[in-house]
A and B are shown apart, each in its own frame.
Chain A
Amino acid sequence: MSTPMLEIRNLRVQVEEKEILKGVDLVVPRGEVHAIMGRNGSGKSTLSYAIAGRDGYEITDGDVLLDGVSITEMSPDERAAAGLFLAFQYPIEIPGVATMTFLKAAMNAQRKARGEEELTTPQFMKEVRSASENLSVNREILKRSLNVGFSGGEKKRAEVLQMALLQPKMCVMDETDSGLDIDALKVVSEGVNKMRDGGRSMLVITHYQRLLEYIVPDRVHVFSDGRIVKSGGKELALELESKGYSSFDKVAGSVADGAAA
């Protein structure tokens, strides 16, 4: 079996000295899309931040491997250059930083970190033009400051645009469906689906089954109280939808069904 794209081993994470993740085990093989479903407060977002390396998310035990390499000692930018991308639940508005300047800085920083040539301005412009056409991103918004004055849908589309430009190996999408109406959800999902190419892996975090109608996962994991309590195929999402999360609470604390794919 080839090296998994993402492997999380017994991950324990504290935030402000409170343990939030209590031993997460998860394997996302190359090319697969996995979903993590859990109610609010179950620690889903903590998992995404811990994977991305946010300050203040202290790993007390366990390991996170990206394509076979431990990333827990890396800074967030090093993880990004290694091929990780986190689509934020709430993309940050940064007044005064032009979106285009940001996009170019990010693309070139990653290329530089990987020892590749930086993009020239015409190359960069071409890439942005084609990616924004593919994703139906209004290029007018790219003239603004980063995420400033973007609608909820525009913010999420801009996240997917960044993903398309940065071409990561592993995408973690944190509640990408929150704040989206059904039309925006379709557009964003289409964008994500276009990036499923058999090599790239994705971890989609959500608490609604709805998103998974559009981004159909290979595996679904149920998250409760800081760990994965059940894993299964895409039908597990439907089961969750009909039975609710509470039916899985009793599983929490007992032996989890692991995450072996």
Chain B
Amino acid sequence: MNIAIDDKVTSAEKTLLAQLAGREKALADSMLREYGLPSRKVEAYHYTDLKALLGQVPPLAGPDLPDSIQRTGMAGPDFAGSLKITIANGMVASLPEPAGGVSASEVSGSALGERKDVLVAMNRALVDRGLDIKISGKTGQILHLDWQLQGDAVHVATSVGLELEEGARAVVVETINGSDQAHLANLGSRARLGAGAELTHVIIDVSSKKVTRLHTVEYEIGRDAQLHNLMVNSGAGLSRTQVFSRFAGEGANGDFSGLNLVGNDQHCDITLDTAHGVANTTSTQKFKAVVRDRARAVFQGMIRVEPVAQKTDARMMVQGLMLSEEAQVLNKPELEIFADDVQCGHGSTCGELDRDSLFYLMSRGIRREEASAMLIRAFVEEVLDSVSDEQLHGELSAIVQAWLREGGDGVPAGKDAGK
């Protein structure tokens, strides 16, 4: 990578600036003009140099719904009996009638709050109408937000705001899927959890490998509220999911977990910033990556404990499994602790499939590919087993299975195999 590139306005930046022209919010425009897309010199983007990685930016999605709903090779995920809202190229296909404590509407502007981050600024500038969902009471039904990127390659900016009222409980699953084109998606998801609310929030990207997905997720977790977050990525050629989470009320708990399943030339980044802003809050972070071919999986996790946030308990574990010589797992756990009576820990491991285990399974007659698949499934199951909803767990297992199949013989064949 050439450092001099920073001084040059890239083709992607030029297109983005043209698309921002005439938009009300000036921050995105000025950030792009002043700093450009973040390069690796920007700490938060150190492993995901958007200036270098973001190639052509497709035209902004028009106001019309694409009439064809094509899916990529992978079917689903679909959830029988769910309340499903399809948002194709940023347009809501149809809004359900308010029922069962869920009320969805369209509002003007993005759900994301102001933040000095160019992805957030662009989302705020480009989203005309966002989805807004209020949840009261306890819903047993899965709320499925089906983000579709359809038709020819488009730049889609869209957002959803989730508001869980006091004591509400919900399972919200966002899936990203669509046509096999080089779409650019700038998604924003924001969830506010009122006192005692419980949200299971799952984000699944199974979009085409040509897609670039830039996704900002914001959480505000109120008093005694419970957040269970899970992000599973097997789609998109380039993705950056950045999560900003704030513990705003005592007794709040957040479990964050994720699975990056990548191959070929995919680059998949999950960056998580959890801020413990009051006393007596807890968080766990469990992230795993399985990487084959020349792909890269990035995880950056920051735990911030503010001076008032005594009795914080925060744990982070990051594990990477590399299935090829050229696979890369880049993990950066960080702690910033300004309170003195806290418990915080982090660990990070990275390795290949265990050779002893592989030999043991093969010595019982199990072929190398199947033995590898068994070990990979065992590795990822540790993340998935926190999902108690059986249907959801089943869909997630199916995604893992599809990813394993997709690899075919890309699942490791050691050089010294089969002697």
**Chain A interface (Cβ within 8 Å of chain B)?**
52-59, 72-81, 85-86, 88, 91-92, 94-97, 101-102, 105-107, 109-110, 113, 145, 162, 166
- Distance between Cα atoms of A157 and B378 in the complex (Å): 23
* Neighbour of A77 across the interface among B365, B374, B375, CB < 8 A: B365
Q: Does A55 contact B360, Cβ atoms closer than 8 Å?
A: no
- Measured between beta carbons, the chain B residues less than 8 angstroms from A145 are 378
Q: Mind listing 5 A-B residue pairs with CB under 8 Å?
A: A58-B419, A77-B362, A78-B418, A94-B375, A102-B374
* Neighbour of A102 across the interface among B361, B381, B416, B417, CB < 8 A: B361
Give residues 360-419 of B contacting A (CB, 8 Å): 360-368, 370-371, 374-375, 377-379, 381-382, 414, 416-419
Q: Does A75 contact B379, Cβ atoms closer than 8 Å?
A: no
Q: Decide if B355 is an interface residue (CB 8 Å cutoff).
A: yes
Q: Which 9 A-B pairs have the closest CB atoms?
A: A96-B378, A80-B365, A75-B418, A110-B365, A106-B364, A76-B362, A92-B360, A77-B362, A109-B365
Q: Decide if B15 is an interface residue (CB 8 Å cutoff).
A: no
**Dominant SS among interface residues on chain A:** mixed
Further contacts, 6 of them, CB under 8 A, given A75-B368, A94-B375, A109-B364:
A77-B371, A88-B360, A96-B377, A96-B378, A105-B370, A110-B364
**Chain B interface (Cβ within 8 Å of chain A)?**
355-357, 359-368, 370-371, 374-375, 377-379, 381-382, 414, 416-419
- Measured between beta carbons, the chain B residues less than 8 angstroms from A57 are 419
Known: A55-B355, A75-B417, A105-B370. A166 touches B364 (CB 8 A): yes
Known: A73-B419, A80-B365. A96 touches B382 (CB 8 A): yes
- Measured between beta carbons, the chain A residues less than 8 angstroms from B367 are 75, 77, 109
Question: How near does chain A come to B10, taking the closest CB pair, in angstroms?
Answer: 44
Chain A residue, CB-CB nearest to B366 = A109
- Measured between beta carbons, the chain B residues less than 8 angstroms from A86 are 363
Question: How near does chain A come to B355, taking the closest CB pair, in angstroms?
Answer: 6
Q: Does B370 contact A96, Cβ atoms closer than 8 Å?
A: no
- Distance between Cα atoms of A145 and B363 in the complex (Å): 18
- Measured between beta carbons, the chain A residues less than 8 angstroms from B363 are 52-54, 76-77, 79-80, 85-86, 88
- Measured between beta carbons, the chain A residues less than 8 angstroms from B375 are 94, 97
